[in-house]
Structure 1
Amino acid sequence: MTSERFTSATTEVIEHGGTRLVRVTPAHDGERRDWFRLNTGALRAAMYEHGAVMVKGGFLAEQAELALLAAEIGGETLEYNERSTPRSRVTGNVYTSTEYPADQTISQHNEAAYANSWPHNVFFYCALAARSGGETPVADSAAVLDRLPVALVERFAAHGVLYTRTYRQGMGLSWQEGFQTEDKGEVESYCADHDIATDWDGDVLRTRQRRAALIVHPVTGKRVWFNQAHLFHVNALPEDLREGLLELCGPDGLPRNAYYGDGTPITADEHAVITAAYEEATLAEEWATGDLMMVDNILTTHGRRPFTGERKVLVAMTRRTS
């Protein structure tokens, strides 16, 4: 049992590889919004203690309530800026989850860890569960850190991560989609304000940004592995696609890549070690239509497993205001 006390609900803690998820099943004996209001404090505390909470039982009316509940529990809802994957706005600050083909896996990651500002919480609402698969797995960021070699961690702690991106039409996201504007001046202003170096070649934009690889949670004080080096790295691509892009663009012209913060390449072996650490800590709970999962984005990573049939998972991101 989790140490939090939920009103009118049963709880169960699921564990795997150092990752924990609290599964909460409310009793169907009252107004659903009232239940969330009564349990807002317990939901926040459960995220701080365990990192991830799944509320079962069809308690939301899809996007109409997701943004409101996310704001009540997590704080200010955020726009999806500085995009790295395709997704669509549903309403307000509610978006579809990443729109990758159903047969693809999305690796574990902390949302927007490549940026200098990121969501504190991410809320996922399963409007329609897939026929099979399609889980949104989670992994404890501290458990991932504990699995990494000390020398590797120390090197990343000293240098951070350098993220490089090349925005061009027809290969990954264009800069228009990534920055949600058609105005190069707005892109330049955004990048200057967010410590991103830019280089234009006609309508092709290359960016470079150095970020920390480890951070300390501002509330719990826990030190965690917090970056997307493994996800941006060229070895995250399937081998045939990787070889084709390298031949066409070279390592500096890829849609995205990652290095140590001093520009030194991250080796294939190091990438494999990091990827294995995520896999060992990953826990996946099946979705049912109507489920809501909320994660502390610093303490917990998320991803997506392949699926069959239709799947609709909506996302809202929030930042604490105090």
Structure 2
Amino acid sequence: MADRQNWAPLEVSPSSVGAGATPHGLVDHLRGIGDLTGLLAREKAVVFRGFHVTPAELDEVLDLLLPNRLAYVHGNSPRTKVGKNVYTSTEYPPEFTISMHNEMSYAHQWPARLAFFCDQQPETGGATPVVDGVRWLAALDPEVREAFAGGVCYRQNLHGGRGLGKSWQDTFETDSRAEVESFLDGTGASWEWTAQDSLRVSQVRPATARHPITGAEVWFNQADQWHAAGLGDETAAALYQIMPEEDLPQSVTFADGSPIPAEHITQIRDRGLESAVDVDWYTGDLLLIDNVLVGHGRRPFTGPRRVLVAMSD
């Protein structure tokens, strides 16, 4: 594997592995990999390109890449479920960049792997940038790393069907309060039902994590995506005019409740994107990433773009 400064995902093509340039060629190749977990721990991310996978073969491929597909329960991004624990990628307008993040790093339990599938490539742009979490951590100023040493506190305000942001029903994929309460009881989060069938959740999490196999310490939080400053000055100002920060659909502070400076947030966001490697999409491609070692995002695009995502423990 290349050194960290020159790291890029491993690209697997039919010619590089002596397989047929078909979905079944990819399936046969994946069945022949003895230790996919070890491969992913070494390479961090793998692109499967040129196998021309279609939605008809996607389940068979995902069953090999993700042995235990997970539901997107307690996920905060807007998505649509389109198959057996298969979802659209984050549904934000195409002109916006989605900053780097590790999926559900704010939660008590996160997926170990993510697989992305390009069902339709965009006309222009739309790459999925991926960043080595060790490099992202090293790119931050020492005072920023020190400020986050105690962790962060994430807060969610989930409405009951009408309001800004996601509802608790969509977030937890259930209409049952009892099921939500049972789930939250096992997460270490604090929560309360508020007026108009809304739910407020608060949880303290670390700012970094260590990979269970390699032991590498990586930047592993979504402070820049939960903080209004990560949305840009104009958007942040508009939100603060509508409601106080504690009433926003999501917000974040340091673990002790003290505010995170906006300049820390913009540094985290910008240096993550600057340290990233773009994975361009062609219809039928797949990208598999280790969700602890690698963060991901999205570049702006034009034309229709459909990238699906699934996750596994």
The answer to whether TM tops 0.5 is yes
Is 1:226 the counterpart of 2:214? The answer is: no
1:140-168 deviation line (CA, Å, top 9, x unaligned): 100001112223223322x1110011122
Secondary structure of the corresponding residue to residue 47 of structure 2: strand
Distance 1:142 1:253, change over 3 A: same
Secondary structure of the corresponding residue to residue 28 of structure 2: helix
2:172 to 179, 183, 199: 179
Amino acid at match of 1:271: I
Secondary structure of the corresponding residue to residue 13 of structure 2: strand
Rounded Cα–Cα distance in structure 2 between residues aligned with 1:212 and 1:16: 23
1:191-250 deviation line (CA, Å, top 9, x unaligned): 112122112222222211111111110011111111111111111123333222212210
Secondary structure of the corresponding residue to residue 183 of structure 2: helix
Secondary structure of the corresponding residue to residue 170 of structure 1: coil
Q: Which residue of 1 aligns with 2:239?
A: 245
Q: Which residue of 1 aligns with 2:206?
A: 212
Q: Which residue of 1 aligns with 2:99?
A: 107
Indicate conservation of the 8 Å contact 1:113/1:226, yes or no: yes
Is 1:162 the counterpart of 2:150? The answer is: no
Q: Which residue of 1 aligns with 2:83?
A: 91
1:152 to 141, 144, 153: 144
- What aligned pairs does 1:281-292 form with structure 2 within 5 A after superposition? 281-292=275-286
Secondary structure of the corresponding residue to residue 137 of structure 2: helix
Is 1:313 the counterpart of 2:304? The answer is: no
Shift of 1:44: 3.9
Rounded Cα–Cα distance in structure 2 between residues aligned with 1:279 and 1:19: 14
Q: Which residue of 2 aligns with 1:124?
A: 116
Is 1:29 the counterpart of 2:17? The answer is: no
Shift of 1:262: 1.0
Amino acid at match of 1:23: E
Is 1:56 the counterpart of 2:37? The answer is: no
1:119-147 deviation line (CA, Å, top 9, x unaligned): 10100011110011111110010000111
Rounded Cα–Cα distance in structure 2 between residues aligned with 1:29 and 1:200: 55
Is 1:79 the counterpart of 2:67? The answer is: no
Shift of 1:40: 5.4
Percent of residue pairs bearing the same amino acid type: 37
RMSD: 2.0
- Structure 1 residue runs of 5 or longer lacking an equivalent are 3-12
Shift of 1:47: 2.1
Q: Which runs of 4+ in 1 moved over 6 A?
A: none
Rounded Cα–Cα distance in structure 1 between residues aligned with 2:90 and 2:273: 20
Shift of 1:316: 1.2
Secondary structure of the corresponding residue to residue 317 of structure 1: strand
Aligned length: 304
Rounded Cα–Cα distance in structure 2 between residues aligned with 1:150 and 1:88: 39
1:269-319 deviation line (CA, Å, top 9, x unaligned): 111221232022111021111111100000001111111111111111011
Distance 1:17 1:171, change over 3 A: farther
Rounded Cα–Cα distance in structure 2 between residues aligned with 1:83 and 1:154: 28
Secondary structure of the corresponding residue to residue 284 of structure 1: strand
Shift of 1:108: 0.7
Is 1:265 the counterpart of 2:256? The answer is: no
Indicate conservation of the 8 Å contact 1:67/1:77, yes or no: no
Amino acid at match of 1:164: R
